[in-house]
């Protein structure tokens, strides 16, 4: 499924709790910059990083499954290499997430199809920060 403004805008309007898989505590990393931006825009960020205890003032969890025991996750934002996406999608399905967002440069057609078949919306190869900013300036958020 190719995401467009008509599918992205409702995701960003309605899904306010975002688990960020691969969120780095290092401020110079793009995952940190993007998650920080989304947090500043009012989204709840749940860091998924087995090597971190806390990122952006939020408790970090080693996996989506661990996080879902304590948090209601609506959207899963992936900062992982494309080959690493299938297990993330499996966990997103298992926890009842509503959407999976693969950041710019990340895509996995088979995993995306599996997520779609399970009822999740999927965005591939798009930056959530860029899309949010674009929709915000167009008055769509």
pLDDT tens sequence across 98-131:
999 999 999 999 999 999 999 999 999 999 999 9
pTM over 0.85: yes
d(CA 141, CA 134): 9
d(CA 50, CA 112): 24
pLDDT over 80 (residue 67): yes
* Residue 5: CB atoms within 10 Å: 12
Query: What was the pLDDT predicted at 48?
Result: 98
Which domain range does residue 106 map to?
5-137
* C-alpha separations of 132 from 38, 50, 93, 122 in Å: 8, 27, 24, 16
d(CA 77, CA 55): 15
d(CA 109, CA 28): 30
pLDDT over 70 (residue 135): yes
Query: What was the pLDDT predicted at 3?
Result: 75
pLDDT over 90 (residue 6): no
Query: What was the pLDDT predicted at 116?
Result: 96
CATH code for the domain of 78: 3.40.50.720
Measure the CA angle with vertex 56, ends 138 and 103; round to 5°. Answer: 50
Name 85's Cβ contacts closer than 8 Å, sequence gap at least 6: 78, 102, 106, 107, 108, 111
Query: What was the pLDDT predicted at 2?
Result: 55
Query: What was the pLDDT predicted at 28?
Result: 97
Mean pLDDT of the chain: 96
First-residue to last-residue Cα distance in the chain? 22
Order across the sheet with 99-102: list the strands: 44-48, 17-21, 75-78, 99-102, 121-123
pLDDT over 50 (residue 90): yes
pLDDT over 80 (residue 43): yes
The tally of domains found in the chain comes to: 1
The mean per-residue pLDDT over the stretch 66-74 comes to 97
């Amino acid at each position: 499924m190719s995401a467009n403004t008509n599918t992205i805008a409702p995701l960003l309007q309605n899904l306010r709790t975002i688990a960020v898989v691969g969120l780095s505590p290092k401020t110079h990393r793009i995952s940190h910059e993007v998650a920080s931006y989304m947090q500043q825009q009012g989204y709840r960020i749940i860091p998924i990083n087995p090597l971190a205890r806390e990122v952006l003032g939020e408790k970090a969890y080693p996996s989506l499954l661990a996080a879902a025991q304590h948090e209601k996750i609506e959207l899963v934002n992936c900062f992982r290499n494309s080959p690493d996406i299938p297990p993330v999608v499996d966990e997103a399905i298992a926890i009842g997430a509503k959407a999976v967002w693969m950041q710019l440069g990340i895509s996995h057609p088979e995993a995306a199809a599996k997520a779609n078949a399970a009822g999740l919306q999927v965005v591939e190869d798009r930056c959530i920060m860029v899309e949010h900013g674009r929709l915000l300036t167009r008055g769509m958020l």
